[in-house]
Amino acid sequence: MIRWLARVHRWLGVPMALLVLVWFVSGIVMALGGGFPEVTERDRLERGGPLAFLPDAALAFPADIEVAGAVRIVPRLGKPTWEIESARGLVQYDAASGVRLPAPSYADARALARQWLGTELEVAAMVHAPDTWTPRAEAQGWLPMLHAAAPDGSEVYVSLAKGRVVQHSTARARLLAWLGAIPHWVYFVPLRRHAALWKWLVIALSTLGACAALSGITLGVLRAYRHWARHGRFGPFRKSAFAWHHGAGLTMGALVFTWLVSGALSLDPFALDAHGSPRAVDRERARGGRFEPRAFVRSVRDAADACSPHLVVRSLELVQIAGEPFYVCRESPVRAMALSASREDPPLTRLPAPWLEREIAAITLDGATRVTELEVPDAYYYPTHFNPDLPFPVLKVESGPVVHYIDETTGRILRRHDATSRTYRWLYHGFHSLDLPSLLARPRLWYAVIIVLSILGAVVAATATWLAILRVRRFM
């Protein structure tokens, strides 16, 4: 059995050792800020500027449009613009006239890029195919795009199809991505353009790596036990490279195995939809049926004026809670106020209790068993070092095995967990990114643990890589 296991481990290790080493080293870079560049909601709010010149009227866009997601008014080149996530994609309307806006021209795209970067453009060119920083541009409907760069190395991509900035990066972010996210996620354009191929390739590689680790752990234990039984000591190897790999594998093999398995789980190979995302049916129930633009009779200027003494209004979002219309004035992802869109009520930091209660009754159907207000994170709703912008307070609504987390300011369902997603949270986030409450509460400790364990895992992979090189050289 040992001889058979040795062959399996050896020939799995030859192709996988270097890749696993790259994963551990790039994981350290990612923990230190080497993620893939992206445009966040905070970026859009801060770089778009405050809302101005709002119309002194109610809504000015076609009431028969089929709303599928968010409806908000945002500044676009200084002019208030409705952005509506419809069933056919993102559409934009002029807030004053209600006329649907055409795709931006080349000059408009340059102006958007210039506003976003806050400086004159050094380079600007049209892009008609995905590149390293927009690998999913085709699938996301971004093409064609304007690629623009500033003198300081910052770059943006403006989608003419979407009429907005879809990617932004700095020179530092791109360098760290090449050392971190791109090799870690195998984020190369020829693969990433084909989402299914990329997904299953990464799952297959992670699985093969996990099999190599598991066979190595089993082989190491059997060899150590046999050598102890025969010679009274555990070290079966005298050659330094084998001894180092044997020792490192016995002490850190379990860590390598769990990291590889949890890495495969990050791509949801079993299609469990277990990431805690709210369901469309729950959002529909919370809204109280079809979105009704005609219910928003209060003027958007009046709503923004009511909020402006309390915060800088960078977007004005329309939300419907149990059939009742509300405006949400937003300054940042975590700072917002809500006010009625049908009455002249003042803005509030939390929606009125009766409407939240109706929303809770709608999404739980059989009635909530427990409702708790969270001012701080819990084990399933928490900000991370990679995603710090989560609003508080929230309502934690428990109904049997299902838990919803609802933003008290906007009524938006932020997370939905059932038994499957809660288990998945620990198997993936717990093992892979070490999202443990005790570590998340102490960021410096989290960084230290991640880096130290990654270095130890890299030692296992580095010794395996050296042995793989020696093995390959024998056949050359």
> Using one digit for the tens of pLDDT, what is the confidence trace for 370-403?
999 999 999 999 998 778 899 999 999 999 889 9
Q: What is the mean pLDDT of residues 254-280?
A: 88
Q: Are 393 and 408 in contact (CB under 8 A)?
A: yes
Euclidean distance between CA atoms 65 and 323, whole angstroms: 17
**Percent of the chain whose predicted confidence (pLDDT) is above 70:** 94
Q: Are 404 and 413 in contact (CB under 8 A)?
A: yes
Q: How confident is the model at residue 60 (pLDDT cuts 50, 70, 90)?
A: low
At residue 367, the pLDDT reads 66
pLDDT at residue number 44: 93
- Asked whether the predicted pLDDT for residue 58 surpasses 60, the reply is no
Check whether the bond before 102 is cis (ω within 30° of 0): no
Domains of the chain: which residue ranges? 2-35+191-271+444-474, 41-169, 280-425
For residues 340-349, give the mean pLDDT. 93
Pairing of strands 67-76, 79-86: antiparallel
The reply to whether the predicted model has a pTM over 0.85 is yes
> Residue 19: pLDDT band by 50, 70, 90 thresholds?
very high
In the chain, the amino acid numbered 430 is G
Edge-to-edge strand order for the sheet containing 370-374? 370-374, 394-399, 402-407, 413-417
Q: What pLDDT, on the 0 to 100 scale, is given for residue 152?
A: 94
Residues 141-146, mean pLDDT to the nearest whole number: 94
Query: What's the confidence (pLDDT) of residue 62?
Result: 64
Percent with pLDDT over 90 in the chain: 58
Cα separation, 83 vs 41, whole angstroms = 14
Q: What is the pLDDT of residue 308?
A: 94
- What mean pLDDT, rounded, does the chain reach? 89
At residue 275, the pLDDT reads 81
| Token representation of residue 369 | 């068993």
Distance from C-alpha of 372 to C-alpha of 387, rounded to nearest angstrom? 23
Could you tell me where the DSSP H helices lie in 308-406?
353-364
The whole-number pLDDT of residue 235 equals 63
- Of 185, 202, 206, the residue nearest 260 (C-alpha): 206
Q: What is the pLDDT of residue 102?
A: 87
